[in-house]
Amino acid sequence: MLKGLAVSPGIGVGKAFVYVEAGLDYSRVEPQGEEAELARLAGAKASFLRDSEALAKSLKEAGNVREGDMIEGHMVLLEDDFLAEEMEKAVKEGKSAEAAAAAGCAAVAELFRQVDDEMIRARAADMFAIRDRLLKILLGVESQDLSAVPEGSVFVTGDLTPYMATGLKRGNVEAIVTETGGMTSHSAILARAMGIPAVMGIPGLLGVVKAGQTLAVDGAAGEVVVFPPREVLDDYLGRQKKWRESKAALLVYKDRRTKDKDGGERLVCANIASVGEAELALEQGCEGVGLFRTEMLFMDRESPPSEDEQAAAYRKASEIMAWRELIIRTMDIGGDKQVPYLHLPQEPNPFLGYRAVRFCLAEPELFKVQLRAIFRAAAGRGNVKIMIPFVTGPEEIEGVRGIAEGLKRDLASEGAAFNPDVPLGIMVETPAAVQLADALAARAAFFSIGTNDLTQYTLAADRMNTRVDYLYSHYHPAVLRSVERVVAAAKAAGIPVGMCGEAAGSPGLVPLYLAFGLDEWSVNPGSVLATRKAIAGWSVSEAREVAARAMALSTTKEVKAYLEGVVAQRG
């Protein structure tokens, strides 16, 4: 039994197809002088960009938008000024183009690793994928044809890159198992997008698993059994059959509106970080976007996106959603999410620091460009909403509203096409916002509860710290009481209230949220149908009965055991 990270749920059984990158040893390459090595490096970069542009275009035309976006992201990273400077410095120190490429990519990867945000730390793996592509070009090494991976295979590799994913025949791969990668790594995102069970982050994997061995993979438990005994294999095959049947059964919910058992309408929306993900979310049957993480537009580049570039992205996402809502969260930049070209100071406690709305109000020029872009993108459209993150008091809402009103006057005087009536809501993710929920509800058009940060702040437990992660739970009574209080305040003020944190995708918490009166669940695209099914299984009266018992319990263990037991009993 091998244990790793459960990054993509499902059961896969098959023969191991072990993929090891062709040898990229450049130790015997002798540098031919500074001018020659810089020229080789420039040629490799040009080839990389040319091939990547063609690949991204073909992927998007074939409907593989996510993979295309990732390839384009690698192109942006390759053109980063810091990377270019590090490579050039290495060549001037007498290194070969290969050694310079490796050194430069390693330097950028190290910068990513130093950031507290898990999604940004995961970008270090992208730098190594870029390094390997450059080395292949420089060394003249051909990539292996992955379309030849046979049917019924479990794909085993060091790390799944977008380049590998584009070559795989998805119907031939039963599961993916890797040495590296985490929940927010591109490899995990790709696995979930492809709907393939995956376990990642197994140290020494390639030294244990051999080609042709039978593997049984549980993507939800993070377990891989090598050469399972007959009874274990039969158990996995039976579970695989049930998993496939359950996936097929979910398809009946794809084109339905979300309703509880009584017929009361709710919304199940999706969390996205790019326009490409909006298309994927729609394919998965979402009823809108409950969270568009716009800070990703500002990362992996040399300068901030222009007003026109942002407006085009927001407009495209709005058009993809058609009549469905699109909630655009203003940039949650600063603190742990460092953007090099902004030259923000490093902080000892970034999660509680200079970030999000605090940064936007203190240094509003970048913020004004984003707000103008949103107002312009919403011209003639009624589905766009603005959401402010990390609010702690009414003065922050008023500060944003003051800036917004000034920008509307500017746009009107310029004769620009824009929508002056875009609703302004907030993300409730701080204990202060919970305590002031009634005052905030009087000033906001809507609430969306961000349970990831709300949980860690309520419990004073850093969700990235493995030494205290046993405390971090959405089932904690204090967190549930906070959610109940926020929903009640929204209802009293007559504004809609949703949830866009990970807890929104937990089936065990659905009856509580229904009982509280939650209007909208926003989850990752792959969880849309399962969440819709979970909501459909509860009447409000049933949910209230369960909630009354759960809320009377005083420990996380009791609450979780009770709720998961109820869900298990109902099948």
Are residue 404 and residue 448 in the same domain, yes or no? Answer: yes
Residue type (1 letter), 391: V
Predicted confidence at residue 557, as pLDDT, reads 96
Q: Is residue 29 part of a domain?
A: no
Q: Is 500 a catalytic residue?
A: yes
What is the spatial distance between Cα 66 and Cα 522, in angstroms, rounded to a whole number?
19
Predicted confidence at residue 450, as pLDDT, reads 95
Residue with tokens 């603190």, as numbered in its chain = 335
Are residue 86 and residue 204 in the same domain, yes or no? Answer: no
Q: What is the distance in angstroms between the CA of the first residue and the CA of the last residue of the chain?
A: 28
Are residue 408 and residue 523 in the same domain, yes or no? Answer: yes
What is the spatial distance between Cα 243 and Cα 379, in angstroms, rounded to a whole number?
44
Where among 230, 250, 270 does a domain terminate? 250
Which residue positions in the chain have pLDDT lower than 50? none
What is the spatial distance between Cα 439 and Cα 428, in angstroms, rounded to a whole number?
12
CA 123 to chain centre: 12
Where among 139, 159, 179 does a domain terminate? 139
Predicted confidence at residue 227, as pLDDT, reads 92
pLDDT digits (tens, 9 = 90+) for 300-314: 677 888 999 999 999
Are residue 234 and residue 274 in the same domain, yes or no? Answer: no
Predicted confidence at residue 171, as pLDDT, reads 83
Predicted confidence at residue 170, as pLDDT, reads 75
| Closest to 258 (Cα-Cα) out of 543, 563, 534 | 534
Active-site entry in 105, 269, 360, 500: 500
- The predicted model scores a pTM of 0.74
CATH number at residue 186: 3.50.30.10
Are residue 294 and residue 407 in the same domain, yes or no? Answer: yes
Are residue 372 and residue 269 in the same domain, yes or no? Answer: yes
Q: Based on the structure, what is the number of domains in the chain?
A: 3
Q: Is residue 25 part of a domain?
A: no
Predicted confidence at residue 216, as pLDDT, reads 96
Other beta carbons within 10 angstroms of residue 491's beta carbon come to 16
Q: Is residue 24 part of a domain?
A: no
Q: Is residue 26 part of a domain?
A: no
DSSP 144: P
Active-site entry in 74, 105, 186, 476: 186
Are residue 495 and residue 531 in the same domain, yes or no? Answer: yes
Are residue 368 and residue 400 in the same domain, yes or no? Answer: yes
The boundaries of the domain holding residue 155 are 2-19+151-250
Are residue 244 and residue 288 in the same domain, yes or no? Answer: no
Q: Is 186 a catalytic residue?
A: yes
Q: Is residue 532 part of a domain?
A: yes
CATH number at residue 533: 3.20.20.60
Q: Is residue 133 part of a domain?
A: yes
Q: Is residue 462 part of a domain?
A: yes
Are residue 445 and residue 334 in the same domain, yes or no? Answer: yes
| Closest to 533 (Cα-Cα) out of 252, 194, 179 | 252
Predicted confidence at residue 549, as pLDDT, reads 97
Are residue 337 and residue 359 in the same domain, yes or no? Answer: yes
Are residue 217 and residue 129 in the same domain, yes or no? Answer: no
Predicted confidence at residue 57, as pLDDT, reads 82
Q: Is residue 146 part of a domain?
A: no
Predicted confidence at residue 119, as pLDDT, reads 63
Residue 155, classed as helix, strand or coil, is strand
Predicted confidence at residue 184, as pLDDT, reads 60
DSSP 265: B
Where among 139, 168, 192 does a domain terminate? 139
Other beta carbons within 10 angstroms of residue 66's beta carbon come to 24
Q: Which helix (H) or strand (E) holds 244?
A: helix 230-250
